[in-house]
Amino acid sequence: MGAVSNHGSSGEVARCALSRNKEPASYEYRMEGHGISGADRKRCKLRTRRRDLLELGGIYALILVVIWTPRPWQAVLWVIAAGIMIYIAYLSFEGLRPMGLCTANLVRSLWAVAFAMAVAMIAVVLAVRLHTLHLPETPWLFLRKYGLYVLWAAVQQIILQWFFLSRWLRLMNDATSAAALTAGLFAVAHLPNPILTLITLVFGMASCFFFLHYRNLVPLAIAHAILGTCIGITIPAAIDHNMRVGISYLTYVEHETITKNVLTKPQRPY
């Protein structure tokens, strides 16, 4: 929807568009059209800010509802949330480059993948020494268990950087504050898992600053997949509950407790 200008004989419809400056964390609003007044610009900017706040609040609320809803309703809400987010992405789509899905700075930013590999190798060595390494029995089982996680890691980075970080930047116009708030929301979404909450807070902050500097999502998605898989095979399920979050983390504890209680319950003699 646009605002009709009172200036100019043609009475054209003003259209709001977002334009990124050369500064990595600076956003400005640009009006396309002729004879657009300052009042129209102000209204358009306010309308865009309201839309950003509505999208941020609505999508984050849906994410939390999905995380804390028990099955089988969780799957239904997940589909609804995914559909809404895809629709919002369609409305605000400006190309793959603003999303970071491009070749710009790709080679320069690949050090993040090497760093993730180094961290993963150190973690695996420590897990071997501590006898906590638990790999699937066959390569097929490994691929079956972690193959889709690679795609999920990329989706998480798109949501984190392109959806949340970009909107907080427009609203706050401060890179540090936007990155901190985005990372904080990312960590809260991993409660009550203490390990994942701490890791996602640190990794979320680092990935936001990385994206602001390089504007490329590919190395982040790969590094996310490597580190996530590393957590899955090096930390025992009894500690991180198979990387579950929300109500799934709590129900995992309840399930394990119930199982132990059943096994240890004295059997009535016949």
Q: What is the pLDDT of residues 225-245, one digit of tens each?
A: 999 999 999 999 999 999 999
Q: What is the mean pLDDT of residues 167-187?
A: 95
> Could you tell me how far CA 255 lies from the centroid of its own chain?
28
Domains: count for the chain? 1
106/247 Cα distance (integer angstroms): 38
Look at residue 81 and tell me whether its pLDDT is greater than 50.
Answer: yes
Q: Tell me the whole-structure pTM to 2 decimals.
A: 0.79
Mean pLDDT over residues 125-146, rounded?
Answer: 94
pLDDT, one tens digit per residue, over 91-118 is 888 899 989 999 999 999 999 999 999 9
| Beta-carbon contacts of residue 44 (< 8 Å; ≥ 6 apart) | 2, 3, 14, 16, 29, 31
According to the model, what pLDDT value does residue 160 have? 97
Domain assignment present for 55: no
Which residues, other chains included, contact 265 with Cβ-Cβ below 8 Å and sequence gap of 6+?
none
Q: What is the pLDDT of residue 11?
A: 38
14 is a domain residue: no
Q: How sure is the predictor about 198, in pLDDT bands with cuts at 50, 70 and 90? A: very high
User: Pick the residue with more confidence: 130 or 257?
Assistant: 130
Given this model, what pLDDT does residue 24 score? 38
> Which residue's structure tokens are 């994206």?
211
pLDDT of residue 158: 96
**Do the domain assignments include residue 111?**
yes
The helix/strand/coil state of 226 is: helix
Mean pLDDT of all residues belonging to the chain: 84
Place of tokens 């990372």: 183
Instruction: Give the residue-averaged pLDDT of 182-190.
Output: 98
Residue 187 has pLDDT above 50, yes or no: yes
- CA distance to 119, 141, 143, 150, 240, per residue, from 147 (Å): 20, 9, 5, 6, 20
Please indicate, yes or no, if residue 140 is contained in any of the structural domains: yes
More confident residue, 263 or 48: 48
Task: Please check the confidence at residue 178 and state whether its pLDDT lies above 50.
Answer: yes
Does 79 map to a domain? no
Query: What percent of the chain is predicted at pLDDT more than 90?
Result: 71
pLDDT 10s digits, 21-50: 333 333 444 444 445 566 666 667 777 889
DSSP 63: H
Dist CA 248 CA 191 (whole Å) = 10
Whether residue 53 is contained in a domain is answered as no
Q: Which residue has the tokens 């399930």?
A: 255
Domain membership flag for residue 186: yes
Residue 147's domain spans which residues? 98-270
Q: Are 212 and 98 in contact (CB under 8 A)?
A: no
Distance CA 215, CA 23 (A): 12
Structure token digits, residue 201? 């807070």
More confident residue, 37 or 248: 248
Does residue 57 form part of some domain? no
* Interval 213-236 mean pLDDT: 97
**DSSP-derived 3-state class of residue 101:** coil
